Structure 1
Amino acid sequence: MELSDCKLGAQSQLVCSGCRNLLLYPVGATSVCCAVCNAVTAVPPPGTEMAQLVCGGCHTLLMYIRGATSVQCSCCHTVNLALEANQVAHVNCGNCRMLLMYQYGARSVKCAVCNFVTSVGVPTSTTEQKFST
């Protein structure tokens, strides 16, 4: 495969298994060699839907197979909840106003920036009530 084929063809992305950098690769590749750390990362099988989240322990970008309920970070070993968009809500921190994400049904959420615990009231919108059950 010529380099120009890679630039013109469809590309996908994954996270390097070595240094955690985001890698672009041509669709159809079975593995990708990282230009930064030379680690070889296997490409998930075609049709596998992937999702991303940021580790709550070390803030590393993690990529995982969509539908997983938790993802363990390979850097700091923190187990992160992998929630779908309809399972989470947002609130501003009561202290620093940082936008926080929390799981429906939670009574409070702790800010990772200032450690303030913001109480989350009873859902008030019909959208929140729909997804909170």
Structure 2
Amino acid sequence: MPVPLAPYPTPPAPYTPSANGAQSHLVCSGCRNLLVFPVGATSVCCAVCNAVTAVPPPGTEMAQLVCVGCHTLLMYIRGATSVQCSCCHTVNLALEANQIAHVNCGNCRMLLQYQYGARSVKCAVCNFVTSVGGTASTTEQKFST
């Protein structure tokens, strides 16, 4: 007499968020992959490297910058003054887009724009490098093109 075969188990239904199941995203603190998670979570475990990344409180505005050490995209809470890269541990100066200054070129007097924290700025017109670390009118050297 033949033995009846058990039916194959039905695969689980794919996750589909409901109308109120909003999702958000952040960058993994371990491997830098993009993590997608349901709104309201306090931390997210990465499926790739198993690192647990804390989720910023709701309503927190995030900003991004590229690390000057390894060129990795970093996410940070808007308003922070510095961000340490989790890959190369470089401390990056976090400047807002409106934190810029102006100085006149020490050679041709063209008005130049630069980010706060810069020590010098090179003129795109005459290639003169104007020091901005001390006094704005101090100049250093002229580069040839």
TM-score category (smaller protein): 0.5 to 0.7
Q: Give distance in 1, aligned partners of 2:65 and 2:144.
A: 21
8 Å Cα contact 1:89/1:101 also seen in 2: yes
Given that 2:104 and 2:110 are in contact with CA atoms closer than 8 Å, whether structure 1 keeps it comes out as yes
Would the alpha carbon gap of residues 97 and 28 (structure 1) be closer, same or farther in structure 2, given more than 3 Å must change?
farther
Query: Displacement, 1:10?
Result: 2.1
Deviates more, 1:52-61 or 1:113-122: 113-122
User: Which fold has the larger relative contact order, with Cα–Cα distance below 8 Å and residues 6 or more apart in sequence?
Assistant: 1
Q: Mind listing any 5+ residue stretches in structure 1 that lack a counterpart?
A: 1-8
Q: Could you say which structure has the larger radius of gyration?
A: 2
Q: Is the 2:104–2:137 Cα contact (8 Å) retained in structure 1?
A: no
The correspondence for 2:36, drawn from 24, 33, 38, is 24
The 1:106/1:12 distance shift into structure 2, 3 A limit, reads same
The change in CA–CA distance for 1:60 and 1:100 in structure 2 (over 3 A counts) is farther
CA RMSD, 1 decimal: 8.8
> How far off is 1:70 after superposition?
0.9
Q: 1:26 to 1:99 in 2, by over 3 A?
A: farther
Q: Secondary structure at the match of 1:128?
A: strand
Match of 1:70 in 2: 82
Shift in Å, 1:26: 1.4
Look up the match of 2:8.
Answer: none
Distance change in 2, residues 1:65/1:30 (3 Å): same
TM-score scaled by length of structure 2: 0.56
Task: Count residues in correspondence.
Answer: 125
Could you tell me which residue of structure 2 aligns to residue 99 of structure 1? 111
DSSP-derived class of the 2:98 partner: helix
Would you say the 8 A contact 2:120–2:129 is kept in 1? yes
Q: How many angstroms apart in 2 are the aligned matches of 1:125 and 1:63?
A: 35
Give TM-score, length-normalised by structure 1: 0.60
- Relative distance call for 1:69 and 1:27 in structure 2 (3 A) is same
Percentage of matched positions with identical amino acids: 93
Q: How many Å separate the matches in 2 of 1:25 and 1:15?
A: 11
What are structure 2's unaligned runs of at least 5 residues? 1-20
* Alignment partners' CA distance in 2, 1:39 and 1:48: 22
